[in-house]
Amino acid sequence: MTTLEADVEIERLLALHPKGFDLSLDRITRLLDRLGNPQDHIPPVIHIAGTNGKGSCAAFSRALLEAQGRLVHVHTSPHLVNWHERYRLAAPGGGRLVADDVLADAVRRVGEANRGEKITVFEILTAVTFVLFSEHPADACIIEVGLGGRFDATNVIRKPACSVIMPVSMDHEAYLGDKVELIAAEKAGIVKRGCPVVIGAQETEAAQQVLIDTAERLNCPLEVYGQDFVAFEENGRMVYQDQTGLMDLTPPRLPGRHQYANAAAAIAAVKSAGFPVDERIADKAMASVTWPGRMQRLPQGALTDLVPKGAEVWIDGGHNPGAGTVIAEALTEQEEKVQRPLFLISGMINTKDQTGYFKPFHGMARHVYTVPVRMSESGVPNEELAVRATEAGLSAEPVSSVANALMLLRDTWDENEPAPRILIGGSLYLVGEVLAENGTPPT
């Protein structure tokens, strides 16, 4: 595999600075000041926080804006295979992942501006976002929060065109708090006085009330899912409704009933940010949206050649109990269409509630193969993860790799049964490994 210039620059920074997060805005503010505050010179921003659904909302928002012919920059994190995935720069006909030489140059300049001072690599890479977005023309920016909101490095945007809070649930408790209300308060930190706010479909009234109270206290124009806008399925179509009326739309291309609510939040956000959305635009966006690694059919490649004949292979990077619930619901929808035995191939990291992730699959999954997560130092040993799956009521066994799990399933499969449905997931790191090994990285 060819070594990319930007990867060399980022690996050099990783050797100099700590990994992970250090929640504060002091270091990123200092660095951006030295760079001329590029965050103040970028196109209008849709800023997205939340526990689950941030990436899907970003994908839908991008699709809606590009369906209008708008030029759109997008920042998401983490990446699956290559660092370049975090930066999609606007281009006619649709944004493109940043070119390697452009990213390498920006990383080098930002690293030099930091002058070796204490900082995290995520903060440097966030500064790179603002440098790139300020130096390339566009009509809008979509920026996903990395962790939390209030002290996330992206939260230096003074006046977002719209702040979006997607579903809030328990995750990153060590950083954000051990109650959903505390986590919601951290996410609400991206809300800015007088700037429009969209609140997506929340899992708890407690979280929703914290978000509403924050927006009202800061005198923000506010749109709340279930109160001001909603989406639902009717006769095989998606219906979006808000105070201006109804839109009858093609169902979202992203699988899962939860994507109706994610799409609705994006429509409300794009409208609140000042970009009109009509039925034709929304319909085009629903049919064209893409979001790698989230309820995605694994493309044909090296790994798909190892499965039982006729098997379906899905990948999803969801990694907490809330994500487990929506993934299980999405697989139930697939089961209603075509009945197949369900098998999980799962790897997770040790900061996640592993048993909570597995519980929604109880009574659905016939068996779980647990595998190591090699791309993270925090990977749960596969033997331990099998115990966590068993605690959730599932049949489980550890195996050494995804490839070995697929071959084991293939070699023991009874061809008299319907071909299996296989979900590989539990970690974005694992999904990244799978896409790389399969030879089908995001583009």
pLDDT in tens, 307-324: 999 999 999 998 888 889
What is the distance between the alpha carbons of residues 167 and 146, in angstroms, rounded to a whole number?
A: 15
Whether 6 and 107 have beta carbons less than 8 Å apart is answered as yes
- In the block, which residue shows the tokens 């999803």? 316
Whether 285 and 262 have beta carbons less than 8 Å apart is answered as no
**Rounded to 5°, angle at Cα 300 from 299 and 305:** 135
| pLDDT one-digit tens code per residue, 214-255 | 999 999 999 999 999 999 999 999 999 999 999 999 999 998
Q: Which range has the worst mean pLDDT, 9-18, 47-56, 121-130, 158-167?
A: 9-18
DSSP string, 336-367: HHS---EEEEE--BTTS-HHHHHGGGTTTEEE
What is the distance between the alpha carbons of residues 112 and 124, in angstroms, rounded to a whole number?
A: 10
Residue 279: is its pLDDT beyond 90? yes
Q: What b-and-e string marks burial along 418-436, b requiring 16 or more CB atoms within 10 Å of the CB?
A: ebbbbbbbbbbbbbbbbbb
| pLDDT one-digit tens code per residue, 261-270 | 999 999 999 9
Q: What is the mean pLDDT of the chain?
A: 93
Q: What mean pLDDT comes out for the span 395-415?
A: 96
Three-state DSSP class for residue 137: coil
Query: Smallest Cα–Cα separation from 314: which of 340, 294, 329, 333?
Result: 294
Partner residues linked to 239 by β-bridges = 232, 248
Residue 7: is its pLDDT beyond 80? yes
Q: What mean pLDDT comes out for the span 62-88?
A: 96
Percent of the chain with pLDDT over 90: 85
pLDDT of 18 reads 63
| pLDDT one-digit tens code per residue, 355-395 | 999 999 999 999 999 999 988 888 999 999 999 999 999 99
Partner residues linked to 397 by β-bridges = 369
pLDDT of 322 reads 85
Three-state DSSP class for residue 57: helix
**Rounded to 5°, angle at Cα 204 from 200 and 205:** 90
- Number of helices and strands in the chain (H, E): 15, 17
pLDDT of 174 reads 46
pLDDT of 20 reads 60
Whether 443 and 389 have beta carbons less than 8 Å apart is answered as no
**Which band of pLDDT confidence, cut at 50, 70 and 90, is reported for residue 1?**
very low
| pLDDT one-digit tens code per residue, 362-373 | 999 999 999 999
Three-state DSSP class for residue 191: coil
Rg for the chain, CA atoms, rounded:
21
